[in-house]
Amino acid sequence: MGQRAVRRAVAGAVFGVALLLSAVAWGSHPLITDDAETQGKGKFQVEVNGQYDSDRETVDGVSVNERGTQIATILSYGLTDTVDLVLGLPYQWRKITEDDVTVSDERGIGDATFEVKWRFFEKDGLMLALKPGVILPTGSESRGLGAGRVGYQAFLIGTKIADPWEFHANLGYIGNANKVDERRDIWHASLAAEYELIENLELVGNIGIERNRDKAGSGHPAFLLGGFEYEVAESVSLSLGVKYGLTAAETDWSLLAGVAFRF
């Protein structure tokens, strides 16, 4: 395999999984960090979240430009007041060019996720939850849209409510079973804050880091995110955010937008 084919294979696998990460059912959009709150018994939430990613780097003197778009649909159901079932399914598009020549242009369904969030502690505005889940290989690994194997993950989630602030922290492990020669053991750590600027409008901020899935990669992906969430009505909210890569291993920048319906 020539150098160009190697660059294309590596870039496709890494960027494809970077898009896939956004399909995982995280917290209140546009945050990556999850919160410990649940829907409530018998209640549903449907989220439709879009994301545009852009990343540029130079590999062996060649300019590699990677762009991608994702639409993720996430359904949450309150099994009890403290337990949610969460199902997420993404549709992805990604394009890679080398010196302005297209070398990959793929689109399709990514890997689905199924998670259970259990809030096991709540007192004086402090909440703790566990969120285990499985990653289902519904995306094509040969096209860079999935991992090719069933994976699993578990997150410990903490939330502290101190009006008008909310703070969230996540520690997680991802069993990244895959057929694309990535690391199998991935850790995640992130922090987020929400501030109610005016009624129904919250400003949000997020920072986090995760172990690099690329075995040959140097450093770990770290990000900084800012945005807002606006509650149009009691059952509908809109969100918008921008995510910036703090390290070379992270996507340079992403634009995130979403809508959530509760019933």
Confidence of residue 1 (pLDDT cuts 50, 70, 90): very low
Tell me: the pLDDT tens digits for 68-91?
A: 999 999 999 999 999 999 999 999
Residue-level pLDDT at 100: 86
DSSP secondary structure code for residue 223 in this structure: E
State the Cα–Cα distance between residues 68 and 94, nearest whole angstrom: 4
Is residue 233 over pLDDT 80?
yes
3-state secondary structure of 28: coil
Which H helix or E strand runs over 7?
helix 3-21
* Cβ–Cβ < 8 Å for 175, 154: no
Residue 19 has pLDDT above 90, yes or no: no
When divided into structural domains, the chain yields a total of 1
Q: Is 22 left (phi over 0), alpha (psi -120 to 50) or beta?
A: alpha
> What is the span of the domain harbouring residue 133?
3-262
d(CA 150, CA 115): 13
Cα within 13 Å of Cα(156), Cβ side: 4
Confidence band of 6 (pLDDT split at 50, 70, 90) = very low
Q: Is 16 strand, coil or helix?
A: helix
The pLDDT of residue 212: 96
Supply the mean pLDDT for the chain. Answer: 91
Instruction: Give the Cα separation of 180 and 240 in Å (integer).
Output: 32
For residues 222 and 25, give the distance between their C-alpha atoms in angstroms, rounded to a whole number.
19
* pTM of the entire predicted model: 0.89
Q: What CATH number has the domain bearing residue 7?
A: 2.40.128.130
CA distance 12 to 14: 6
Residue 26's pLDDT is 58
Please state, in angstroms and as integers, the Cα–Cα distance from residue 96 to each residue in 7, 27, 102, 107, 255, following that order: 10, 29, 6, 12, 18
Mean pLDDT of all residues in 10-32:
59
Tokens of 55: 């990343």
How far is the CA of 127 from the CAs of 31, 85, 162, in angstroms?
A: 18, 18, 12
Q: What is the DSSP string of 157-198?
A: EEEEEETTEEEEEEEEEEE---SSSB-SEEEEEEEEEEEEEE
